[in-house]
Structure 1
Amino acid sequence: MRHIKLTLKGYLVTGLLIWLPLAITFWVLNLIVGTLDQTLNLLPREWQPQQVFGFTVPGLGVVLAVLILLGTGMLAANVFGQRLVRLWHAILSRTPVVKTIYNSVKQVSDTLLSDSGQAFRQALLVRFPHQDAWTVAFQTGTPSRQISAAIGEDELVSVYVPTTPNPTSGYFIIVPRRDTRELDMSVDEALKYVISMGVVAPPPKAR
């Protein structure tokens, strides 16, 4: 009887390990697609899928978002488009209240998405939350000279310490570079390691 219970438990765990990643993946994709489909409500009523086709078309919001992004990128690639972008940037950068939000978000997005940026380019080990513990973090930049002078350290690094299993929240800390250790793993491997709470370890590197 005990053997049967152990066998059934093994089957249940195996089935859970197969279906759980699939269920979470489809749930996240459904959330993204559903959110983007809501943007179709911004179209004139006569252009909405319910009016054109007579029924809802799932995923049409994703197609629309991709087309808008491609069109914007292609427009900004020519001289006329660059002038429009500069004009748009100048207007938003001078509008009270709006300029604070816009400039902050633009600076962060430029840093994160730029090929020359150093944000999230290196996985590190840092001492956190105390000196006797280590955790995985990501280098986000180098503090300004003002911060370095205030701390009294020349070699400082800005790092983001993600929480687990949700890495979208975490802590921004500034630490001496000597208190960090560079990891021989990609950012994706480090994120998987954090999300899995250390269960999914990166494969050993070939020497």
Structure 2
Amino acid sequence: MTVKQVLKKIFQYFLQGLIILAPIAITVYAVSALFNFIDGILPGIIGKFFPGFLGTDAEGKAINIPGLGFVLVLLVVIFVGYISSSYIIGKLVELFDKVLERTPGIKLIYSTIKDFFEAFAGNKRKFDKSVLVSIEGNDVWQIGFITREELHEFGLTEYVAVYVPQSYALTGRLYFVKADRVKVLTDISSTDAMKFAISGGVTEIDEENPA
């Protein structure tokens, strides 16, 4: 085996190792960054409102217990989700929600973020109807998601709103297109369609989990 062949083989092993380790490393990094961020800010907040709860170090600062902040956030989110299912709490949350949605300035930020999260989860999910949409030409198709099937307020009676995600990004574009330029995907799930679009078409489709 020549030196060139050996180097080529080593390079192939490098690429194979990179393909295996890169997704793992990026995922671990993202989770660790969130983990450390929450752990970094919560001890100070807890020490301010509940002095002595965590104890203090030699400098008088609240002791940072690794993982405690992340666990507390998870417990708070789960607890809020649990109590919001009760009638009284649900009504209070609904009232608070209306106040925020009618407050000038805050309304824009709050309603936009709320709609964004509800689009992916909950009872108002929007990205659950995956389609192929022809925008740039009759023979060119893109993966998209129907978010509105009626656009009467825009004066469009035969159009639907289609969100087209961009590859390797958390962004996308919204198009108003005629309904006859849209094909509903029935053989793959919306989750697989989203992964396929974001990955640039390199993600394998799970054939065992059709929509």
TM-score (norm 1): 0.79
Post-superposition shift, 1:112?
Answer: 4.3
Q: Distance in 2 between matches of 1:50 and 1:75?
A: 30
Cα contact 1:157–1:177 (8 A) shared by 2: yes
Cα contact 2:196–2:202 (8 A) shared by 1: yes
Q: Distance in 1 between matches of 2:135 and 2:40?
A: 41
**172-181 vs 37-46, greater mean Cα deviation:** 37-46
Q: Distance in 2 between matches of 1:71 and 1:206?
A: 32
1:143 matched residue in structure 2? 150
Describe the shift of the 1:11–1:162 C-alpha distance in structure 2 as closer, same or farther (beyond 3 A). same
Which residues in structure 2 correspond to 1:160-199 (within 5 Å)?
160-166=163-169, 168-183=170-185, 184-199=187-202
Describe the shift of the 1:104–1:143 C-alpha distance in structure 2 as closer, same or farther (beyond 3 A). farther
Question: Match of 1:20, as an amino acid?
Answer: A
Cα contact 2:56–2:62 (8 A) shared by 1: yes
Cα contact 1:118–1:141 (8 A) shared by 2: no
Higher helix proportion (structure 1 or 2): 1
Post-superposition shift, 1:172?
Answer: 0.9
1:201 matched residue in structure 2? 204
Post-superposition shift, 1:178?
Answer: 0.9
Which residues in structure 2 correspond to 1:81-100 (within 5 Å)?
81-100=89-108
TM-score (norm 2): 0.78
Describe the shift of the 1:93–1:12 C-alpha distance in structure 2 as closer, same or farther (beyond 3 A). closer
Describe the shift of the 1:172–1:27 C-alpha distance in structure 2 as closer, same or farther (beyond 3 A). same
Q: Distance in 2 between matches of 1:174 and 1:104?
A: 20
Q: Distance in 2 between matches of 1:106 and 1:113?
A: 11
Q: Distance in 1 between matches of 2:179 and 2:6?
A: 56
Which residues in structure 2 correspond to 1:87-166 (within 5 Å)?
87-110=95-118, 112-115=120-123, 117=124, 119-147=126-154, 150-151=155-156, 153-154=157-158, 156-166=159-169
> Please, which runs of 5 or more residues in structure 1 have no aligned partner?
none
What secondary structure, in the 3-state scheme, does the structure 2 residue paired with 1:44 have? helix
Q: Distance in 1 between matches of 2:206 and 2:119?
A: 29
Cα contact 1:139–1:159 (8 A) shared by 2: yes
What secondary structure, in the 3-state scheme, does the structure 1 residue paired with 2:146 have? strand
2:46 matched residue in structure 1? 43
Cα contact 1:118–1:139 (8 A) shared by 2: no
Find 2:23's aligned residue among 14, 18, 21. 21
Describe the shift of the 1:8–1:179 C-alpha distance in structure 2 as closer, same or farther (beyond 3 A). same
2:70 matched residue in structure 1? 62
C-alpha RMSD of matched pairs (Å): 3.0
Post-superposition shift, 1:6?
Answer: 1.9
Q: Distance in 2 between matches of 1:143 and 1:36?
A: 41
Percent identity between matched residues is 26
What secondary structure, in the 3-state scheme, does the structure 2 residue paired with 1:23 have? helix
| Matched length | 201
> Please, which runs of 5 or more residues in structure 2 have no aligned partner?
none
Q: Distance in 1 between matches of 2:192 and 2:12?
A: 29
Cα contact 1:137–1:162 (8 A) shared by 2: yes
Cα deviations by residue, 1:161-194 (Å, 9 ceiling, x for unpaired) = 111111x101011111210112221122112212
Question: Match of 1:64, as an amino acid?
Answer: L
Post-superposition shift, 1:119?
Answer: 0.6
What secondary structure, in the 3-state scheme, does the structure 2 residue paired with 1:159 have? strand
